[in-house]
A and B are shown apart, each in its own frame.
Chain A
Amino acid sequence: MTAPAEAPAAGRGIVFDNVSKFYGEVLGVNRVHLAIPPGITSLVGPNGSGKTTIMNLMTGLLRPSQGRVTVLGMSPDQPDPLFRHVGYCTQYDSFPRGMTGQEFLHAYLRVHGFDRRQSDDLTRTALEQVGMTRAADRRIAAYSKGMRQRIKLAQAVCHGPSVLVLDEPLNGLDPMAREEMIALFRGLAAQGKHVIISSHILHEVDFISDQVILLNEGYVVAEGNIRSVRGEMQKHPLQILVRCDRPAALASRVFEQDGVVEARIDAQLGGLLIKTRDADAFFLAFNRIVLDNDFKIEVVTPADEDVDAVYQYLIGGGSETA
């Protein structure tokens, strides 16, 4: 038996320092600077934007053409120490022929260097985590798409990594399974682990992510907490939806305020949609207007402070990137 690799120091994170990757003349990603902290980080972007390239770079499956990547202070080109602490779930459904789910996990834990008994224990734990205990002895070939997705997740988490890199992990899962997986990701993130997810489903990204990285054509177009990203976008006024008893009267009052560029009654949203360039000043003024005029307010909520809106502003397209 050999000693395991030194445990990574907390707080080093995943760092991309001026990283570019070219496939011949085709741009993968260009001049990427990132520092990914613990928690759930989502990579969002259209097909070919560089999400999988970023994931492959941080797992050492691709080498950068330029720049440097470090994961918890380790270089990704050393698979032995790296994959002690990193679990990767690729987007491909690829499994050795004839194996059961249990055999699959057990075999790859042996490749990680765990002995038979440890592999048995870790296999059982991982199967429980993804809710596959009952199907563990069935051949993977007979699994449904959702079950294959779960077993792929299990192989990524089974060795207890500090960094989880999950390429479209929620694809093929039914709503209940999605909920379970999201709870699993949150649980792992709550332990201080890095959970990196790429997803096409923007409302889910918004729901689960601590921070997002928006990619387009190989460039990082935005990075960070979605609200702070939205706050930085001066070009697009913040939209606020207000539902109240006298929307027309409220519209006339708020339109007098500095920074408010539009106030209109939106039938589709069922309320007053206000656009402002200075959200902080608006909310201060809004409180005063409501109190002075005795409006009865039902809802005040940002209408475009989510990933979907930011995505549309920065990249364009519909609510799904597929």
Chain B
Amino acid sequence: MAVYERTYRGYSGGLTPPRSRILVFPRYAYDEIFRSKLFLAFLVLCLVWSFGLACALYLPHNLGFIKAFQLDPQQVSDFFADLFDANFFYGWFMWPVGFMALVITIIVGPVLVTSDMRNNGLALYFSRPVTRTDYVLGKSLVLVSLLSVVTWIPGLVLFLFQCYLEGPEWMRVNYRVAVGIFVGSWIWIAVLCLISLALSAYVKWRPVARMSLLVVFFVAGGLAAVINVMFRTSWGSVINITDMIHVIWAGLFGVEPLNDTPQWVAWLSPAIFCAVCLVLLARKLRPYEVVR
């Protein structure tokens, strides 16, 4: 038998920090996602909505615009100072962008994991210095960044813009708007990421994975409504994740909620959804599928 003397020298230089390495995953995922012009158009549309709201916030402060309609600037200012409150941001910002975030998730979510699962690609990732947590974080970063661009980032810009226009007093009175936008968006992003990744890990065919997301978010809503009607209760809503998120948002913004579901139930419901998704991901994201 041959005897080999060790003559090689391993790499002894510095390495990049472990957490920064997961940034490689989204870099190439973006390439694939933005190849779709339709998706790009939709993303721009999402931003146009926020831009439209910014115009709505600005125009009552534009003397030229007010004079064009021959209105009294003071009356207009008072009217819109009352209008642009937590209810406005909850109803005109969070609801629409929340829906847009859901559509983005349905488009992008299944792209991230299904192909790796279908092509036995996980072994490729896990034969690197990468844990399953790193993989989920890396893939989630794609959704987190895209959803942040349409939710809390423009939301906080709008809030700061309104503070600039109305002054510090409006900011003091409506500080919960900023909390609601930031915390509410992140809760929604976390729920969307985990559900889409978990479903994508189980359903390897993209169209079916997208359909499954629709089922979770829309069919479950319908089922919740049926339960509520049949049993004359509002507890059926706990399976409607979007309703629960809206109740949480309402609590954060300090506005009237959709239904009388207690806040603790509304928080518990997505927490359970997320926990279940994490368990599913832990079970499924293995480099080699065990066939029993």
Q: Other CB < 8 Å A-B pairs besides A61-B126, A81-B129, 5 of them?
A: A23-B291, A61-B127, A61-B287, A192-B4, A192-B5
List B contacts of A60 (CB < 8 A).
126
B292 on the interface (CB 8 Å rule)?
yes
Given that A56-B288, A61-B287 are contacting pairs, would A114 and B120 also be in contact in the complex, using a CB cutoff of 8 Å? no
Contact B290 A83 (CB under 8 A): no
1/0 per residue, CB under 8 A from A, across B3-40: the answer is: 01111101111111110010010011001100100000
The size bracket of the interface on B is 35 or more
Nearest residue, chain B, Cβ from A193:
B8
Given that A90-B120, A90-B127, A97-B32 are contacting pairs, would A225 and B1 also be in contact in the complex, using a CB cutoff of 8 Å? yes
- Cross-chain pairs A/B with CB under 8 angstroms, 21 sampled: A3-B14, A3-B15, A4-B14, A23-B291, A24-B292, A39-B4, A56-B123, A61-B288, A62-B287, A80-B18, A88-B127, A92-B119, A98-B28, A98-B31, A110-B24, A112-B21, A114-B16, A118-B13, A192-B8, A193-B4, A225-B1
Contact B32 A83 (CB under 8 A): no
1/0 per residue, CB under 8 A from B, across A81-95: the answer is: 111111110101111
Tell me whether chain B's interface is mostly helix, strand or loop, or mixed: loop
**Distance, CA A79 to CA B128, complexed state (A):** 7
Per CB-CB distance, the 6 closest pairs between chain A and chain B, nearest first, are A192-B6, A1-B14, A113-B15, A88-B127, A94-B121, A191-B8
Contact A61 B130 (CB under 8 A): no
Nearest residue, chain A, Cβ from B15:
A113
Contact B8 A113 (CB under 8 A): no
**Distance, CA A99 to CA B129, complexed state (A):** 21
Contact B124 A94 (CB under 8 A): yes
Question: Which of B17, B31, B124 lies at the interface centre, i.e. has the most chain A CB atoms within 10 A of its CB?
Answer: B124
Binding site for A on B (CB under 8 A): 1-2, 4-8, 10-18, 21, 24, 27-28, 31-32, 35, 115-116, 119-121, 123-131, 287-288, 290-292
Contact A191 B4 (CB under 8 A): yes
Contact B119 A160 (CB under 8 A): no
Contact A92 B120 (CB under 8 A): yes
List A contacts of B31 (CB < 8 A).
98
Q: Which of A102-146 contact B (CB under 8 A)?
A: 103, 107-108, 110-115, 118
Nearest residue, chain A, Cβ from B132:
A79
1/0 per residue, CB under 8 A from B, across A12-35: the answer is: 000000000001111000000000
With both chains docked as a complex, state the minimum distance between the C-beta of B15 and any C-beta of chain A, in angstroms. Answer: 3
Contact A107 B4 (CB under 8 A): no
**Distance, CA A84 to CA B24, complexed state (A):** 17
Contact of B18 among A2, A24, A61, A115 (CB under 8 A): A2
List A contacts of B32 (CB < 8 A).
97-98
**Distance, CA A60 to CA B28, complexed state (A):** 26
A159 on the interface (CB 8 Å rule)?
yes
List A contacts of B128 (CB < 8 A).
79, 83, 108, 111-112
Contact A2 B119 (CB under 8 A): no
Contact B11 A210 (CB under 8 A): no
List A contacts of B2 (CB < 8 A).
39, 189, 210
List B contacts of A98 (CB < 8 A).
28, 31-32, 35
List A contacts of B124 (CB < 8 A).
90, 92, 94-95, 108, 155
Q: Which of A155-195 contact B (CB under 8 A)?
A: 155, 159-160, 162, 189-193
Contact B21 A94 (CB under 8 A): no
Contact of A83 among B11, B127, B292 (CB under 8 A): B127
With both chains docked as a complex, state the minimum distance between the C-beta of B19 and any C-beta of chain A, in angstroms. Answer: 10
**Distance, CA A61 to CA B12, complexed state (A):** 26
Nearest residue, chain B, Cβ from A159:
B11
**Distance, CA A25 to CA B292, complexed state (A):** 8
Contact B129 A111 (CB under 8 A): yes
Contact of B15 among A1, A56, A87, A210 (CB under 8 A): A1
List B contacts of A96 (CB < 8 A).
28, 121
With both chains docked as a complex, state the minimum distance between the C-beta of A61 and any C-beta of chain B, in angstroms. Answer: 4
**Distance, CA A95 to CA B24, complexed state (A):** 14
List A contacts of B11 (CB < 8 A).
4, 84, 159-160
**Distance, CA A94 to CA B117, complexed state (A):** 10
Given that A96-B28, A111-B21, A114-B16 are contacting pairs, would A162 and B8 also be in contact in the complex, using a CB cutoff of 8 Å? yes
Given that A56-B288, A94-B121, A107-B27 are contacting pairs, would A2 and B15 also be in contact in the complex, using a CB cutoff of 8 Å? yes
With both chains docked as a complex, state the minimum distance between the C-beta of B33 and any C-beta of chain A, in angstroms. Answer: 11
Contact B16 A2 (CB under 8 A): yes
List A contacts of B288 (CB < 8 A).
56, 61-62
A299 on the interface (CB 8 Å rule)?
no
**Distance, CA A143 to CA B290, complexed state (A):** 30
List A contacts of B126 (CB < 8 A).
60-61, 79
